[in-house]
Structure 1
């Protein structure tokens, strides 16, 4: 009888401990980003033009949180492109529940380049060398706002 009573008292505690609290709309990590002059993640590269670095506020969807400590995550830039995002302040920690959420980030966007200067890589053949300018976008965020 005593074991049954203990089970009945402990089961509700275990069930409530398993529930995840959803991220509320409007939650801010780091500094609150400016939500007035922002760009879509899909349009960030065209907004940058020929500039290699620029300050911007970007709205987009989080693909996955790669490292919670330091705020490392990937954001969709449309057409299969990915923006690698990390926080300027390493003390910022992001929850894994951010996956699939629409967020607004503020900070500095930069283009990543791989030079094609006809140099041989150690132990590699010229056929295995990268061709042209490749790479994606990287974003150093100062703040994140959970939009949806």
Structure 2
């Protein structure tokens, strides 16, 4: 009888601990600094907004597809049309929980295009090199602030 009561109490505590781990992140929760919402655009329009620029500051909203590394806040963001944005925090001390996967967020920071030179030389000398942008490659985003939107 004593063992049955102890096992029921242990089961009660185990379910309580697992429920605490899966608590949803509240709307408005901020990681890093609070992101700017001036000029906010969807992540699917970021590449068109950048045009021929290789770097630009932006504030975008999108859905997190996966948290690849919690320390440093490494994650992938859906950019629409089958593309993704590889993002990480500028401040490495930010810890992003795995529970944020699938949530809509607002992020602000610096977006960069990843490209390679036509002859595989990233450091061009006096000769001009044509830059080929691979449409399958992702955009990179260095995040200064993230806020959970939905």
Quick check: TM above 0.5?
A: yes
Instruction: Show the counterpart of 1:90.
Output: 92
Post-superposition offset of 1:118: 7.0
Q: What does residue 102 of structure 2 align with? A: 100
Provide structure 2 residue ranges, at least 5 long, that are not aligned to the other structure.
122-130
Task: Count residues in correspondence.
Answer: 137
Q: Give the ranges of 4+ consecutive aligned residues of structure 1 lying more than 4 Å apart after TM superposition.
A: none
Query: Which residue is 1:10 aligned to?
Result: 10
1:34-54 CA-to-partner distances (Å, cap 9, x unmatched) read: 124211100001111111111
Q: SS at 2:49's partner residue?
A: helix
Unaligned residue ranges in structure 1 (runs of 5+)? 120-130
Q: Is the 8 A contact 1:116 1:133 kept in 2?
A: no
Distance 1:111 1:118, change over 3 A: closer
- What do residues 43-93 of structure 1 show as CA deviations (whole Å, max 9, x unaligned)? 001111111111110100111001111100000111111100000001111
Find the residue that maps to 2:61 and give its secondary structure.
Answer: strand
**Aligned position for 1:51:** 53
Deviation sequence 1:84-118 (CA, Å, 0-9, x none): 00000011111111111100001000111012127
Q: Secondary structure at the match of 2:45?
A: helix
CA distance in 2, matches of 1:44, 1:66: 22
Contact kept? 2:59, 2:107, Cα under 8 Å: yes
Normalised to the residue count of structure 2, the TM-score between the two structures is: 0.86
Comparing both structures, which one devotes a greater share of its residues to strand? 2
Q: 2:64 aligns with which of 51, 62, 65?
A: 62
Structure 1: distance between partners of 2:118 and 2:16: 56
Query: Residue 31 of structure 1 corresponds to which residue in structure 2?
Result: 33
Q: In 1, are the aligned partners of 2:115 and 2:132 still within 8 Å (CA)? A: no
- Measured after TM superposition, the shift of residue 132 of structure 1 is 3.6
TM-score, structure 1 normalization: 0.87
RMSD (Å) for aligned C-alpha atoms: 1.6
Aligned match of 1:41:
43
